[in-house]
Amino acid sequence: MRRAAFAVAAVVLLAAGCSPLGLLNWVSPEPEHDRTEIAYGTHPRQRLDLYRPKDGAGRAPVVVFFYGGGWEGGDKANYRFAALALVEQGYVVAVPDYRVYPEVPFPAFLEDSAKAVAWVRANAGTQGGDPDRLFLAGHSAGAYNAVMLALDAGYLGREGVSPGSLSGVVGLAGPYDFLPLTSKTLEAIFAAPDPSRTQPIAFARKDAPPMLLATGDMDTTVYPRNTRNLGRRLNELGAPVETIEYAGVGHAGIVVALAPLFRGNTPVLTDLVRFLKSKS
């Protein structure tokens, strides 16, 4: 019945110009929380939404969640449902916007992501969070951003943050090993002298932060081999990594499963929180 009601509401709201992800925000019950929009840089897209449990006692674990969009778009407001899924579990959550193509190519979106993480780490203590329990997470292109920051130490290092200070990283349906580039747009986004240096798998190392890499076996947007290949490489190196492949789940389904209406389909939130708690 709830899904039937959602379908009716979706037709109405889409006709009114609401985004599909915005629909999830509309139908998701909201735990008691505070949300603040904060600038972490001077560019209009260098802003983040910070969510805090309203009744939090302080020093909560902190998650920086990067959304997807193919490095071409996205809006932090559309991912309130994902942030609140974690707020409900007692986490402080930051959802940053970041610059995207065609305004900027690689690596500007990683530089923005690192700047956002640095702001969160520096300010978490005054926002009810614990900077020593800092996690990165993301979906699709956002998973790429999170994992790349954790593996290539240069981005966070230039912002004064050591990847070793991360408690863990969660990647949902992320592209980590996607050469050769399969479109003119990707070629433009990742126009680097050495394309291999744009790939997270090239930076896999034994001392990587603990990672949970999850994908769906029906994903035809970012093929599951990305998760399999990076997970295998990290495992061979002796790095702490767990991989999960959800049966019958596609690219959008893995993040939609964070919304209350769809949590019964796939235990993404359960697995994510289990991982975070095990590393806190």
Is the pLDDT higher at 265 or at 170?
A: 170
Domain count, the chain: 1
Q: Give the count of beta carbons closer than 10 Å to the beta carbon of residue 131.
A: 17
Query: Is 46 part of a structural domain of the chain?
Result: yes
Residue with tokens 């050591």: 162
Q: For the chain, give the percent of residues with pLDDT over 90.
A: 84
What was the pLDDT predicted at 265? 85
Domain that holds residue 198: 30-279
Q: How far apart are CA 99 and CA 137, in angstroms?
A: 18
Contact of 216 with 173, CB cutoff 8 Å: yes
Total-model pTM: 0.91
Q: Where are the beta strands (DSSP E) in 117-234?
A: 129-139, 166-172, 211-216
Nearest to 150 by CA among 72, 225, 213, 229: 213
In a domain, 20, yes or no: no
- Residue 92 located in a structural domain: yes
pLDDT score for 20: 62
Query: How distant, in Å, are the alpha carbons of 94, 142, 191, 263 from that of 49?
Result: 6, 15, 30, 23
CATH number at 235 reads 3.40.50.1820
The verdict on residue 24 lying in a domain is no
Any domain includes 2: no
Contact yes or no for 172/137 (Cβ under 8 A): yes
pLDDT single digits (tens) 209-258 = 999 999 999 999 999 999 999 999 999 999 999 999 999 999 999 999 99
| Residue 22 lies inside a defined structural domain of this protein | no
Domain assignment present for 1: no
The strand pairing partners of 49, in sequence order, are 37, 95
Assigned domain for 89 exists: yes
Distance of CA 204 to the CA centre of its chain: 19
Note the pLDDT tens digit of each residue in 189-214: 999 999 999 999 999 999 999 999 99
